[in-house]
Structure 1
Amino acid sequence: MTEHESSATRTAPLAGQTVRHGTGVNSNRAFPTEAHPQHLDPFVLFERFYIEPDQGFPMHPHRGFEIVSYMIEGGMDHEDSLGVTNTARENEAMHITTGGGIRHSEFPADGAGCNGLQLWVNLPREEKEMDPDYSDAGPDELPTQDLDGATVTTVVGDGSPLSTHTPLEYLDAEVTDSWRWELPDEWTGFLYVVDGAGTVDVGGTATGSADAIAEGEVLPVTDAESVDVAAEGSLRAVAVSGRPHGEPIRQQGPFVL
């Protein structure tokens, strides 16, 4: 255990907050919420969205950040002002750089509901007006590693065809026993439980001070190099970390200024 790990600030897992969007879509938002009102530089927000068959997001604008959408169940139809149309299904990911401005729509596919995860990543000040772009990747393109106690898929990061302008790593971990999540030094991150329950031990102290965590809860990590995750039966979580910009995050609705 390093000195940095032993002095890491402990943060207990927090319950997500239900957010109802103006279009009628419900989300479980990890942050920012009343319990965790601040952004998590370089991350603007993270939530799990649930779209019913008769709901969705009509064409709307964004600018100033990047979006990573990762589907959990069902399919979601995407269309944007770049002329891109795509349907993302279970374990497929889409990446959008909104840059100086893009418009897009999101609706459930095939007349059925869907749910997935959406992450907003701030762009540094000097890249706010860059050209928008789009990319996507299916599950067969995302590298997966089988470990002793977990199966880990890299959604964004080493080996993934998806890359972001802000250095980050986005992992999807199916934990059947235990798994140690390693974060690069001085990066900020969070772990969000998609399904199941277990415990998390920040800093890997193995002192019996692990905290319980369950579906819909998030663990912000701002001062640690590792988190030990143990499953109770099974646990699926996404673990996301990125290099902070050290700049204020100014969100105004669909724009990050």
Structure 2
Amino acid sequence: MNGNATTGGDGPIPGEAVRHGTGVHSTRAFPTEGHPANLDPFVLFERFYIDPDEGFPMHPHKGFEIVSYMLEGGMEHADSLGVEHTAREGEAMRITTGGGIRHSEFPADGEACNGLQLWVNLPREAKEADPDYVDASAEALPTRETDGATVTTVVGEGSPIELRTPTEYLDVRVDGEWTWTVPDGWAGFLYAVAGNGSVGGDAFGEGDVFTTRAGGEFGVAADADLRLVAVAGRPHDEPIRQQGPFVL
């Protein structure tokens, strides 16, 4: 991983292709061979692509929170709490797995879908919390215009999606120049969803990830329209012990 003295971050580096056992394909930002570590408090982040005949049958999770954010198509969710919901483009779901939950994920309407999924570690004292679920429509996620960008808040101020870890998750469409500000001591990452541009002067395009572990300000510029997500959170300073679908 290349250091970047201009911005104080790491990267950008390309995400890596992952094929899940169910046949679902993803582009993973971390952990990967190129970025082998978790990014406390974040366990993993990836863009998933589910074809009509694929999906994730009912399976267990525990010890973390999941944020799924849809980019195209719809994804049907069902879980052991009795929830059944279809999330569509621009909509988000949060699952607090806590002491344990089972859920399934399949594409809706017989059509492919793709989206983003983030796993956020739960602090030690919350590992056995009661499982919980909440979703948000696209209209419920606040969107604002700033100099050089349009910003939708998926998690953070004004969003109905809340986590047990202080976190900000932004969907940003950059058409000029935009500055990403991460609080001191927080960890965070940028992931390019579409388009091309730069971070701190370094090329940054679809599937690339840029990370920071110490906060700071990072200049982003679009060569053409650039869409990215900007995610930052306060570390727990606790080990992240992932064993498949469980984070212990």
- Counterpart of 1:230, as a letter, is A
**Are the equivalent residues in 2 in contact too, given 1:198–1:230 (CA < 8 A)?**
yes
Match of 1:233 among 224, 233, 245: 224
% same residue: 68
TM normalised by structure 1 equals 0.93
What is the DSSP-based 3-state SS (H/G/I as helix, E as strand, rest coil) of the residue aligned with 2:21? Answer: coil
Alignment of 1:1-16 (within 5 A): 9-16=8-15
Q: 1:251 aligns with which of 227, 242, 246?
A: 242
Question: Which residue is equivalent to 2:93?
Answer: 94
Distance in 2 between residues matched to 1:96 and 1:124, nearest whole Å? 15
Q: Structure 2: how far apart are the matches of 1:10 and 1:237?
A: 16
Check if 1:164 corresponds to 2:163. yes
What residue is the counterpart of 2:130 in the other structure? 131
Aligned: 1:140 with 2:131: no
| Cα shift readout 1:229-254 (whole Å, capped 9, x = no counterpart) | 10011100000000000000000000
Q: What do residues 5-45 of structure 1 show as CA deviations (whole Å, max 9, x unaligned)?
A: x8863422111111100000000000000001000000000
- Size of the aligned set, in residue pairs, is 245
Distance 2:124 2:163 in 1: 15
Please report the TM-score for the alignment, with normalisation by the length of structure 2.
Answer: 0.97
Q: Which structure 2 residues correspond to residues 61-72 of structure 1 after superposition, within 5 A?
A: 61-72=60-71
8 Å contact kept, 1:8–1:224: no
SS at match of 2:125: helix
Q: Which amino acid aligns with 1:22?
A: G
Partner SS for 1:13:
strand
Could you give the per-residue CA deviations for residues 125-162 of structure 1, whole angstroms, max 9, x where no partner exists? Answer: 11100000000001100010111210000000000011
The Cα offsets for residues 185-243 of structure 1, whole Å up to 9 and x where unpaired, read as 11100000000010001xxxxxxxx1100000100111241111100111000000000
Residue number in structure 2 paired with 1:206: none
SS at match of 2:150: strand
Q: Quick check: 2:7–2:218 contact (8 Å CA) kept in 1?
A: no
Q: CA RMSD, aligned part only?
A: 1.3
- Which residue in the other structure is 2:104 paired with? 105
The match for 1:43 is: 42
Q: Which moved more, 1:91-100 or 1:219-228?
A: 219-228
Question: Counterpart in 2 of 1:223?
Answer: 214
5+ long unaligned stretches in structure 2:
none
The equivalent of 2:73 in structure 1 is: 74
CA contact (8 A) 1:94 1:134 kept: yes
Work out the CA distance in 1 between the residues paired with 2:21 and 2:153.
Answer: 32
Amino acid at match of 1:236: R
- Contact 1:8–1:223 at 8 Å: present in 2 too? no
Question: Aligned AA for 1:221?
Answer: T
Alpha-carbon separation, structure 1, partners of 2:122 and 2:75: 25
Which consecutive aligned stretches of 4+ in structure 1 deviate over 2 angstroms post-superposition?
6-10
CA distance in 1 between partners of 2:128 and 2:90 (Å): 30
Aligned match of 2:153: 154
**Which letter does structure 2 place at the counterpart of 1:96?**
I
**Structure 1 residue 165: Cα displacement:** 0.3
